[in-house]
Structure 1
């Protein structure tokens, strides 16, 4: 598969539900290619596999190579007759192991876009959601929460998505559109999906293509909230339909990455408001799906007199940086309240969520006090008497990484989210070596709650994009010690030159051999799958090490009780990769506080456009 094009505007064919009718589809493709081509590739939405067992034979002629697929073809409609069996066989092919966001190969020129993802083809950024929403409990051909979360994480990455492929239409797509001449099926809610609407509102593609409804529909362009470009929606009919509805469509879009600012901002005269922020016909209110983001990386909770003993007169939200570190770089210009009382409660061991929201969703699992009274901590607070006479978690009071700890070096903090924060590594191996740390004092990142997991993936995605913009590859590793040590989880994110990234795997395998063990090698299909696989490998009573390589594979090792395993193993091996073994010990790489402050400021300045919490 080619991932680049000599032309600035690749030529693309789009198809609706194929329903296994590959002879009809490719006959039409060849005719269009001859008269108006050549086209670079074909994208298919809606059901790709047959809906009738009698069509399976001619379908398999292409899959098994007896007939040629004439053009690189990508599909997302992974359901229909024999879909599960055919796709399962394809995923077992050794050539299809590892991350395959750009397609699992079925045969020459035919690729299944599995799950969800985004990839680059001929300079176009293409996002997709394979499968469909289902209330009938089908085990295959249905997208899951992991697929949705992965797309939401991708929506936070920099860059404009050119094409977004879904099988079902987004619910409410006709809101605010001129439907005076539209067919009844266009206005029907059948074949639509509210989740697709949410994703389209978040991803903001330049083109959104869908199938399933069996009709052709080209909506007027619509504007997007918090984006300068417009979106065009295309619904395509099924291949070979008897009503002669259009099932194939040609595009020649200039990739957004090749467009000038003026070009990307151009909006046709018939542009409407986003269908996801206006009312449906008959004045039925639609939930606003495009949620505005806050303008700073602070806690986003409103302070209420009902929840706290005192409050500011103007009801401003509380500045998290001030509460957790005692300072805020914005000073008097900060839009959030520098609440001294909240800071005092925080350092006495009170849960920050409880202080601000009046409740904590972690409940009994939270290590902090759910009370504003020093004398009456609630059950499960795990509180000890602190040095100041209040009640402070014994773990957080001594931990280097808990935001409530007096040992925290707040000048190393780079970005703070709701559940995770990013900080400069103490004694960094290389410039921009950072840590991703859960705000809650937990033992490892594999056991954080679902919301925190989503935020972690967004952080990793942003850091990966930032490193990539600097010509570096991201290497991630975590050493999970025996739970009895109650260390604060930290995920190490290290940038390496692209020329060195390809050497990392062999260096770690050789180092493992010298220590007398072999790594388990995982090749997950997505980052979400990768985390699930690692959780299944984790023995909560033992130590564990894993490494995420730049190309997508993962090395992991469960450490035996009597096994000698260096705590700094990951760093030591990476120092060897860089031919800088003298930097294997972080204590020999410590910087002065002024140097750390400058390095942190440099990182924040470069990372600003990628930061999911900005």
Structure 2
């Protein structure tokens, strides 16, 4: 018997702090490290990538953009700010088309990680927040970028690397500051929003820059997660203090690790700094003064509101107000107000709700009134506005829509083949207009959806298959998609059983919406039960019965539950994650052509 091949070696990654435009010096060091201890697969740069000086100080960057110098290894950067950055990045931004979570290439081997997103790099799951906290505009991350990461935090799978420019407020281990430099304790460069995000995302590594100092914190145990997190702060390139600005790691992707390795805790592991009060570095206070009654509630929107004294005056909990739940429950020092949550969902400004005023003034995109009759700039939910105002994969009007996957366009719905399909002919039925779930669509669109389902049933029947439909409706849903997965007829009877079994393993039971099996009546019942602020998952079985689970506010429900269950039914566990099933654009185009050829006789839009 042949021996099993050894597992692939983990990727080797270089990390760098603020480049400040000194790319020649950075890449000279990268070449030296690569020759002595390489090769390395990638370089990840956090902090200010471009020069903080004026337009005259862009020589190094221009050499690479104009082809006079070469980037030695694939390099990804998040610090898209500095006086010259908008001009240097304008062409790349204008030329960017489609969904590019892995970066926009601005010259060979140099990738701009714009906004926020998640992508896979040599098997590693990487999440990033580009830009820094600020008033908005170029080089500043937006609330939309933050909201996108909150939604990503709900997706299954462990994040290996989280890249930010600024450090998370409260990260310093207060129990051991004896060897910590004063620069680490300096309040400049800390961001409470980053602290909030890292506590939700729970990466294995968190990498940050901006403070001009190297700091490798003791690993800490995450709340409600098996693995630990390691924080690494990096100094700026060529700093006078000779602080470390480049660092090498070689992490095994979590997706390939054993359970024992993921659960392993180093002997120097500490508690998470984001679930207990921290008194060492409250932002905006002098670290030399004794801290007075502080609370490091990491999800606070503004660190000035971290002080417990202000909380006693009735300050709102941002986590509860924005999401409807708070991990600290009754232990939270801030107010959980359902009425404020409803106002927030109606696009009322959080600062206005919390302080009675908003310092952003006319620059604020949200409403400064509690009156339902007030002029609302956009009455749609914030999660929906984020995609409308920026980009959305599924909006046909968006430059990011992958139109080559579209197979049919109707009045209210269009159909597309899934990207990274579970099986061939895996179809998404998507509203043409931006809508967070299909249950909120108007009656005429619901009728058209029924026609598409009838057409798919006939098409799949010719192949000896039956359709399973499912939809995950979350408070974070942006653009609806009802998924249709064909399963072989011999397995159709087992669909009900495997969904009930999967539910039992997660600790809940499905309710049956339509015991008589009338799918149309079942959807009508679902539509009457659906509320925009509730989360739910439903699946329509091949025989027409609909199973429903209303997700409790504190419940951690897997966003890919439907796909994961069907992957188990079809003995395709390795295809449960769509990212493992991605095809080239040429393969996708052939797949669409094949589908259209067989579906055209049934297509209700023809």
Q: TM-score, normalised by structure 1?
A: 0.54
- Once the 2 structures are TM-superposed, how far is the Cα of residue 284 of structure 1 from its aligned partner? 2.5
Structure 1 position 84, deviation (Å): 1.4
Q: Which runs of 5+ in 2 are unaligned?
A: 1-5, 280-290, 301-316, 327-336, 347-377, 394-404, 469-490, 507-555, 562-606
Question: What's the offset of the Cα at 1:286?
Answer: 1.8
Q: Residues 175 and 276 of structure 1 are in contact (CA less than 8 Å); yes or no, is this contact kept in structure 2?
A: no
Partner of 1:123: 123
Structural mapping, 1:272-421, within 5 Å: 272-281=270-279, 282=291, 284-287=294-297, 289=299, 361=342
Q: Deviations over 1:232-256 (max 9, x none)?
A: 1011011111111110000011111
RMSD: 4.9
C-alpha displacement at 1:228, in angstroms?
1.1
Evaluate the alpha carbon distance shift between residue 357 and residue 265 of structure 1 in structure 2; reply closer, same or farther with a 3 A threshold. Answer: closer
Instruction: Specify the alignment match of 2:285 in structure 1.
Output: none
Deviations 1:69-119 (CA, angstroms, capped at 9, x unpaired)? 0000000001113211222211222xx311110111101100011111111
Alignment of 1:538-577 (within 5 A): 568=450, 570-571=452-453
The Cα offsets for residues 195-251 of structure 1, whole Å up to 9 and x where unpaired, read as 000000001111100000111111111110001111110110111111111100000
Residue number among 189, 192, 201 corresponding to 1:191 in the alignment: 189
Paired with 1:502 and 1:598, the residues of 2 have a C-alpha distance of 20
Distance 1:476 1:153, change over 3 A: farther
2:217 maps to which residue? Answer: 219
- Displacement after TM superposition at 1:362 (Å): 7.1
Q: What do residues 396-417 of structure 1 show as CA deviations (whole Å, max 9, x unaligned)?
A: xxxxxxxxxxxxxxxxxxxxxx
Q: Distance in 2 between matches of 1:300 and 1:216?
A: 36
Counterpart of 1:25 in 2: which secondary structure?
helix
- Separation of aligned partners in 1, 2:230 and 2:14: 16
Instruction: Determine helix, strand or coil for the equivalent of 1:361.
Output: helix
Instruction: Find the counterpart in structure 2 of residue 57 from structure 1.
Output: 59
| Alignment partner, residue 48 of structure 1 | 49
Distance change (3 Å), C-alpha of 1:263 and 1:76: same
Cα distance between partner residues in 2 of 1:359 and 1:279? 25
Change (3 A) 1:130 1:585: closer
How big is each residue's C-alpha offset from its partner over 1:448-505, in whole Å with a ceiling of 9 and x where there is no partner? 52368899xxxx99xxxxxxxxxxxx99999886xxxxxxxx9999979838768979
Q: Take 2:115 and 2:325, find their aligned partners in 1: how far apart are those partners?
A: 32
The 5-angstrom pairing of residues 131-210 of structure 1 reads: 131-134=131-134, 137-210=135-208
CA deviation string 1:489-546 (max 9, x = no partner): x9999979838768979xx9xxxxxxxxxxxxxxxxxx9xx99x948xxxx9999989
**Corresponding residue for 1:430?**
none
Correspondence for 1:329:
none
State the distance in 2 between where 1:475 and 1:601 align: 32
Secondary structure (helix, strand or coil) at the match of 2:79 reads: coil
Question: Is the contact between residue 156 and residue 612 of structure 1 (CA under 8 Å) also seen in structure 2?
Answer: yes
CA distance in 1, matches of 2:261, 2:13: 20
CA contact (8 A) 2:155 2:560 kept: no
- Maintained 8 Å contact 2:80/2:131: yes
SS in 2 for 1:279: coil
Give 2:357's aligned residue: none
Gaps of 5+ in 1: 302-355, 366-445, 462-473, 482-489, 509-526, 547-564, 587-594
In structure 2, what is the Cα distance between the partners aligned to 1:242 and 1:358?
53
Given that 2:71 and 2:110 are in contact with CA atoms closer than 8 Å, whether structure 1 keeps it comes out as yes
Deviation at residue 36 of structure 1 after TM alignment: 0.4
Aligned residues: 390
1:498 to 421, 432, 440: 421
Look up the match of 1:424: none
Structure-2 separation of matches of 1:503 and 1:611: 20
1:455-604 → structure 2 map (5 Å cutoff)? 498=421, 534=434, 568=450, 570-571=452-453, 580=462, 599=495, 602-603=498-499
- Flag the 1:449–1:173 CA change in 2: closer, same or farther, 3 A: same
Residue 280 of structure 1 and its aligned partner are, at CA, apart by 2.0
Q: Report the Cα distance in structure 2 between the residues aligned to 1:300 and 1:597, rounded to whole angstroms.
A: 38
Matched, 1:106 2:106: yes
- The aligned counterpart of 1:78 is 80
**Where does residue 611 of structure 1 map in the other structure?**
558
- Cα-to-partner distance string for 1:520-579 (whole Å, 9 max, x where unaligned): xxxxxxx9xx99x948xxxx9999989xxxxxxxxxxxxxxxxxx956565467568758
1:511 corresponds to which residue?
A: none
Structure 2 residue aligned with 1:327: none
**CA–CA separation in structure 1 for the residues paired with 2:264 and 2:179:** 26
2:228 is the counterpart of 1:230? yes
TM-score relative to the length of structure 2: 0.55
1:279 Cα deviation (Å)?
2.2
